[in-house]
Each structure stands twice: as structure tokens, then as C-alpha cells.
Chain A
Amino acid sequence: MAKKTSAKTAPTGSAKRKTAGSKTSRKAATTVLVVNMMPRALSGESHQDSEPTLAVNPANPLQIAGSAFTPDPGGGNLAPIFTSVDGGNTWTLKSIVPSSAADGSATSDITVAFSTKSNRLYAGIIRVPFPPNRPRLNILRTNDFQSAVAMKVLVDRTGRGVDQPYVQAATVASGASIGKDRVYVGDNDFNATPRSATIDQSLDAGKTTPSFKSVRIESRTTAGQDGPPIRPAIHPDGTVYAIFHSWRTFDNSGEGTADIVVVRDDSGGSGTTKFRSLLDAGDGKAGVRVVKDVKFNFDGFLGLQRTGGDVNIAVDPSTSSNVYIAYNDDVGPDYMLHVLRSTDRGVTWSTDLRTIRNALNPALAINTAGRVGLLYQQLMGSGPTARWVTQFESSDNGTTWNPITLATVPANSPPKTFDPYLGDYDHMMSVGKDFYGVFCANNTPNKSNFPKGVTYQRNANFTSHTLLDVDNVTPVDVSIDPFFFKVTG
């Protein structure tokens, strides 16, 4: 019997638990929705669809876009994104991203973000083809993500190469620039080495031909360059933060040390000196070194997933003074995830609020109630029984965390096709009180792998734990798929 769904919006056991440090019980039951995003028409696919991001349209949360290393199933010149128009319950795959049929009909990096009020969807991609070792940055836009028209190219840059573009966007809510889209793309721009950490920003990205400016946010001497992840976070009051992996040392073995640096711009990059609002008390330079000299290995692995230094950041929508960050470092044999907080606009920072062994892909978001959400993927166990556990935790105070296991899947199946196995990042954001996120995992249709339930669109038999082709009969190999989730606040 083919069974496509074991769908539940599952109340979490901890939903009504009073949180230490919180004065009020959480009245509404938390519900969890997990959906395998692969459409039914692609039931026969077994590609490694890793490295996901997600964009919920704040102006209409029923509209959601997702991205992964999914190639165009037709092998054309456009790569696809995932789209939902019903709040993530169902998904389609739509090919609208510039790519190249001769180079695999995909991207080499992709992130997506809606602006807050304009309904415009932006993307930062590494576009193929690119000359060897010179990744090609494209910043893209569509005014209608349901349109069949390819996304418009706003920026197309190669030079010495640009890596891992990570886009965030917001519509200015008040003042002289009201209604304008501000877009910030964190990227590692090798055209600026040795200070490569960059924010490519536009203060009016919605206009026909917007201009983008490359803002170099590294103020210190580096080991030739910064690390790949540069992550911006936007607050409605105009404050923009960014976190990056500021490389201090690096040798040919792939090992190095880095500072975890947070920069801030109080006017969204509209002033003459950009991203220099936050000065380090130690050296007086722009960007607070939250943690110094953390170890990383650019050639390291945790299970089948490559490592090298993850970072993430979220700002509290109700006050831009409150900021959470997450980062990874090598501690002995462990790839350690750390979570810290600032309540004074990044000037000072807490000690570790959370440390989690062998966990990566941290994603943070804070909802309108001030509750922080943390998404990560942890390697549990070792050898053939090892599992990737995808965990969502939330906290009202940064001290007591309510965990929800979204997925627990075999860590060594399917075999790796390419790097990255799960992705060098995943993603989470909040709209109102709700958390929306995406992660990649082994797609075996097994209820016990998804403790809070899961919905599959693609054909699957949950009794025999078998994926089925579009004929609903022929077995299909297990692969890596993107999974959408929503946790109501």
C-alpha cells in the first residue's frame, strides 16, 4: 500500500511548560509541520538535493520560496527553486534561475530572500559556468516568483571570484526611503583579498536597474582572506548586523584560526562610513571580536559533511539591542557549536549559552515575542549506526531551551555524491510568532525518522519504507531531500 503521508501538526510535549525565567506560561499549543519538498511529479529522482535556504514572504506568509542544489529536471538553461503558495503545505519546483544546460542546470551556491513588503524575491547565487577557481556572483530578482520569466540579473561579477553569497532583504518601513527594498548580500569577495569579507548592498534594489555597492567589512589584517560565511541580519529600525569568520592564520594543511567578528551599521549602510558602528574595545577597529582565535579545519569533515567554520546571527525584531549568534570551532576532536547573546547592540557578549558537540549548520531566528529559535544538525553515534539529528530548540531567555527533534536519519546513507553532503548551511527565519525553516536529510519514508510527523508529496510507502516512482510501483533509491518545517510560536 502506497502511503504518501504521515502528516501531523504535532503538539510538542513542552508546549505548555512554564519556562524558567519566563513570567508567563505559553498559552497556545506549539504545532510542528514537516514537509518533504520534492513534488510528486519528481518521485523518480534520487539527486543529492543539499544546502537549502528558505524565504517566507512577510507580506503574505502563504508564499514561500526554497532553494537547494537541485538541478533543472529538464536539463535546461534555468535552475529551479521550490515554491509554495499555501504556507509550505505543498511545494512545486519551478525553473527561473539563470544557469547553464552544459554545466548541469543548477547553481554552485544559492540563497533566497523576500523583502518584507514588496513581494519581491531576491537571490544570491554562484552561477555556472565560471572560470576555474573564480566563482561567479549573481544577484537576482523577480517581482513575481510565480512567473515563468527568468529572474533578472542585478549583479554579475567574477574578477578573482566571489564565494557563498547569502542574501537578506527588507522594505524600509518609515522615513524618506519608505517603500524601498534594501538588499544585503554577505559574500567572500576574492577581489578584495586579503580583506575579503564583504556586504554587497543596494538601498533601492526594487528599482529597474538598481546599483549595488561592495562594502568591505573586514578591518583587520587577515591570513590572506576571510572565511566563506558572511551572514547579514536586518532589523526593521534600519540596523543591520553581520557576522563573519575573520581568518587570523591559515596553512596548507587546511587548518587555521579565526576571530568571530560582528559588525553593525545603524543606518543600514546609508551613511558615508558603512558597517563601522560597532568598534572593538581592544583594538578600536570596526567589528567586535566576540571570540578570538578559534580553531578551524577547512578540509575537515563531520561524518560525510565538510566543515570549516559555520556562523549565524539573528536580531530581535522587537529591539535591535538583542542579538544572538552561533558559531563553530574545533575543540579537540569535536566540531563544537556555540550560541551567545548580546543585549547591548553587540558591544558585549555573554559566555556560551549553549555548546553542542558535533553539531553544525546553525540557524537562528527570533520571533516577535522575543523567543529565539535555534536550528542545527548533530551527528549522533558513530560508525554504521551514526545518525544525523536535526534539532529545533527555542528559548525565551537563552537559558532554558525546549528541544524538538525534527528528523533523525541514518548518517551514512545514501552515500555522498558530492560535497557538501547536507549543505554548508541550512536556514530558518521568523514571521510574527512562527518559525519557518528548511534542512536537508536522508529521505527514507519512515515515521520513526520524523518524530513530529512528516508529509511526503513524492510517492512513498511508509510501511515498507520505500520511495516509489511516479508509477507508484517502481522503487526509487533513497537520497538527500530538502524538508520544510514550521513551528508555530
Chain B
Amino acid sequence: MATKKRSDLPEATPAFVFRGTVKKVRAATMKEVPVSDRTAVVRVEQVIEAPQSFAHYEGQDITVGLAGKKKVKAGEELVFHADSWIFGDSIAVQAVVQEPVTKAHSALLKRGGDPTEHRKARQLQEHLDDADLVVSGSVAAVTVPPAPATRARAMAALPPTPVSEHDAKWRQAVIDVDETYKGRHTSKQVTVLFPASMDVRWYKAPKFQAGQKGLFILHKTKLKTDDHHELRGLAKRVGAEVEVFTALHPTDVHPLKQRSVIRAMIR
């Protein structure tokens, strides 16, 4: 299995998985692609898993930056696991892995369905696997985190909190728990910290509202309490790190009708 690493970033599951036939090596579908021995024009025979921006390329030629050093030949059929590279009149993707089609792929190739839904399901599964607490319930209240009892003294002891357009504007949602699907929580209520900010950094995070019902995928997060004055009331002492539940990802909140789906995915 040939692999290619483009950076020192943490590995992410490649976005675009497809079966393709190599049409021409050392070629590209766009003039903007720097052609080399490691670029090829590949016909996408079957999209297996993809974001929306790749989903419609079945039956079309695209450019692939080949992984590793192993030679490929025109006519060869391979399964590609690839990430974005260049979008122009056509697209070029950078293969992280390319492998010959074998019997091991038969289940993957026969499963059918919508490739974008497959990707969403895989991402949700990874997200659930990573969660610390999954509950259903309703939001009893949304408040600004409480100030510490010795707020005035605490504030004086800390440097002023810098003001930035990227401020999270923390709020806390108190959830009355109906059912726990994953993790342990002894109380019938759980408090979740979320950013109310609509800044580019935070706008995708769920914005809780009182009365809201749903399934909540929660994550334990350590926050330094001098990050924001709104957090200082959550700490036992000024400057401490506090562990709280957060819901920062767009898929951290689901409607109750997803209950059976979520329950089945918990492992």
C-alpha cells in the first residue's frame, strides 16, 4: 500500500474514496497542475465516499497526484483514498493511498447508497466514538456562567481579559437529562458550555436555546479560567483549569427522532 504525506498535520481520514481507472500517467486534466511522474489522469468509475464537492465526478476524468513511489500503468484499476488538491475547471486530488482492487474491497464496492451519506455516517461514528457523554433531554435554561463569589478580588488579581473579535462569548446550557446513551453522569442535569459567538471561529457550534429538546453529544474539555471572564465563576480558584462539558461541533446536537440511529451507533 503506497501512502503519501503532504504535511506534518495529524492524519485525517481522506475525504474522497473512489474506484478509478488510470487513463494516462504523467498527465493532468488542468493546465494549472504541475505535471510529473506522479500525476495521472484517472477516470472515476465509482464514487464510494465523498463530500458534496466530489460526489458528482462519477464517469469523469480527474487528475490524481499519486501516492508513494510505486509505478502505476494506464488501464490499471485502483481504489483511491484522496484529499483535495486543486479545484479549477476540473479537479485534482492528492492520493493518500492507492491500492489494487481486490476481493477485500468487494463489500465496499457493492454497498451502494449515497457516497455523501456514507461519509457523514462515518464522521458521526468517529464523533460518537470520541464523545464522553451522550444524552437525550431538554434545555432547562441558558445562562452566562456565574461569577465567582469573590469576583471583584478575582478580577483584580488577573490581567484584563483581552478583547478579540474571536471571543467565544461563553454561555452555559443546563440540560434536564431523560436518558443517557454513553458515559456516566450521576445527576439528572448536565451543564454544557457553548460559544454564543457568531464569529467565523465559532458560528458552526450549536447554539442552545431554552426549551430545546434533542440528543446531545458532549465532550469533556479543559479550559483555563482566565481565558474569559465568563469562565472564572466555574473555577474553584482563580487561574485554575476547569473541566467542563462542551458541544462545539455542528453534529453535537441531533433531533430526538435520531434516537434509534444514535443508540445503534454507540459502541
Give me the interface of A with B, judged by CB distance under 8 Å: 39-42, 44-45, 50-51, 69, 72-78, 80, 83, 85, 90-95, 98-102, 104, 106, 108, 126, 128, 130-135, 146-150, 153, 160-161, 163-164, 188, 190, 193-194, 196, 224-225, 228, 250, 298, 306, 308, 416-420, 424, 457, 470-471
A77 engages B12 (CB within 8 Å): yes
B52 CB, min distance to chain A CBs, angstroms = 7
Whose C-beta in chain B lies nearest to the C-beta of A416?
B198
A250 engages B163 (CB within 8 Å): yes
A42 engages B87 (CB within 8 Å): yes
**Are A418 and B93 also in contact (CB < 8 A) when A83-B32, A90-B88, A160-B162 are?**
no
A163 engages B164 (CB within 8 Å): yes
Which of B91, B93, B200, B231 sits near A420, CB closer than 8 Å?
B200
**Are A93 and B86 also in contact (CB < 8 A) when A102-B249, A193-B160, A418-B198 are?**
yes
A163 engages B88 (CB within 8 Å): no
Is B105 part of the binding interface, using a Cβ–Cβ cutoff of 8 Å? Answer: no
A92 engages B88 (CB within 8 Å): yes
Could you say which residues of chain A place their CB within 8 Å of the CB of B53? Answer: 41-42, 44-45, 73-74
A150 engages B9 (CB within 8 Å): yes
B32 engages A161 (CB within 8 Å): no
Whose C-beta in chain B lies nearest to the C-beta of A41?
B87
Is B30 part of the binding interface, using a Cβ–Cβ cutoff of 8 Å? Answer: yes
A41 engages B89 (CB within 8 Å): yes
Whose C-beta in chain A lies nearest to the C-beta of B6?
A150
Is B189 part of the binding interface, using a Cβ–Cβ cutoff of 8 Å? Answer: no
- A selection of 14 A-B contacts at a CB cut-off of 8 Å is A42-B87, A74-B51, A76-B14, A132-B223, A132-B227, A133-B164, A147-B34, A150-B6, A150-B7, A224-B162, A250-B163, A298-B165, A419-B203, A420-B165
Known: A42-B53, A95-B84, A135-B201. 8 other contacts (CB 8 A): A73-B54, A73-B84, A75-B51, A85-B32, A92-B30, A93-B86, A106-B200, A161-B164
B168 engages A133 (CB within 8 Å): yes
User: In the complex, A102 Cα to B165 Cα: how many Å?
Assistant: 21
A419 engages B165 (CB within 8 Å): yes
Could you say which residues of chain B place their CB within 8 Å of the CB of A80? Answer: 84, 87
Could you say which residues of chain B place their CB within 8 Å of the CB of A85? Answer: 32
**Are A161 and B162 also in contact (CB < 8 A) when A39-B87, A75-B51 are?**
yes
Q: Is the interface of B mostly helix, strand, loop or mixed?
A: loop
Which of B15, B159, B161 sits near A76, CB closer than 8 Å?
B15
B83 engages A74 (CB within 8 Å): yes
Could you say which residues of chain B place their CB within 8 Å of the CB of A39? Answer: 87-89
A148 engages B94 (CB within 8 Å): yes
B163 engages A225 (CB within 8 Å): yes
Could you say which residues of chain A place their CB within 8 Å of the CB of B167? Answer: 133
B12 engages A76 (CB within 8 Å): yes
B200 engages A98 (CB within 8 Å): no
**Are A69 and B223 also in contact (CB < 8 A) when A133-B166, A163-B166 are?**
no
List residues 60-100 of chain B with CB under 8 A from any CB of chain A. 65, 83-91, 93-94
B249 CB, min distance to chain A CBs, angstroms = 7
User: In the complex, A188 Cα to B167 Cα: how many Å?
Assistant: 14
Give me the interface of B with A, judged by CB distance under 8 Å: 6-12, 14-16, 30, 32, 34, 51-54, 56, 65, 83-91, 93-94, 159-168, 170, 195, 198-201, 203-204, 223-224, 227-228, 231, 249
Which of B34, B161, B204 sits near A146, CB closer than 8 Å?
B34
User: In the complex, A471 Cα to B55 Cα: how many Å?
Assistant: 12
B201 engages A193 (CB within 8 Å): no
Could you say which residues of chain A place their CB within 8 Å of the CB of B87? Answer: 39, 41-42, 73, 80, 92-94
Whose C-beta in chain B lies nearest to the C-beta of A48?
B200
Whose C-beta in chain A lies nearest to the C-beta of B88?
A92
B6 engages A44 (CB within 8 Å): no
Could you say which residues of chain A place their CB within 8 Å of the CB of B227? Answer: 131-134
Could you say which residues of chain B place their CB within 8 Å of the CB of A224? Answer: 160, 162-163
Whose C-beta in chain A lies nearest to the C-beta of B39?
A148
Could you say which residues of chain B place their CB within 8 Å of the CB of A45? Answer: 53
Could you say which residues of chain B place their CB within 8 Å of the CB of A163? Answer: 162, 164-166
B56 engages A418 (CB within 8 Å): no
A76 engages B83 (CB within 8 Å): yes
Which of A72, A306, A416 sits near B165, CB closer than 8 Å?
A306
B84 engages A76 (CB within 8 Å): yes
A104 engages B15 (CB within 8 Å): no
A94 engages B161 (CB within 8 Å): no
B259 CB, min distance to chain A CBs, angstroms = 25
**Are A225 and B224 also in contact (CB < 8 A) when A74-B16, A101-B12 are?**
no
A132 engages B200 (CB within 8 Å): no
A135 engages B166 (CB within 8 Å): yes
Which of A94, A149, A196 sits near B162, CB closer than 8 Å?
A196
Could you say which residues of chain A place their CB within 8 Å of the CB of B9? Answer: 77-78, 98-100, 150
Could you say which residues of chain B place their CB within 8 Å of the CB of A134? Answer: 227
Could you say which residues of chain A place their CB within 8 Å of the CB of B34? Answer: 146-148
Most buried by A among B52, B91, B167, B201: B201
Could you say which residues of chain A place their CB within 8 Å of the CB of B223? Answer: 131-132
Could you say which residues of chain A place their CB within 8 Å of the CB of B56? Answer: 470-471
Could you say which residues of chain B place their CB within 8 Å of the CB of A50? Answer: 200
Could you say which residues of chain B place their CB within 8 Å of the CB of A131? Answer: 223-224, 227
A80 CB, min distance to chain B CBs, angstroms = 7
Could you say which residues of chain A place their CB within 8 Å of the CB of B91? Answer: 41
Could you say which residues of chain B place their CB within 8 Å of the CB of A108? Answer: 166, 199-201
B228 engages A132 (CB within 8 Å): yes
Which of B83, B94, B165, B203 sits near A228, CB closer than 8 Å?
B165
User: In the complex, A193 Cα to B84 Cα: how many Å?
Assistant: 39
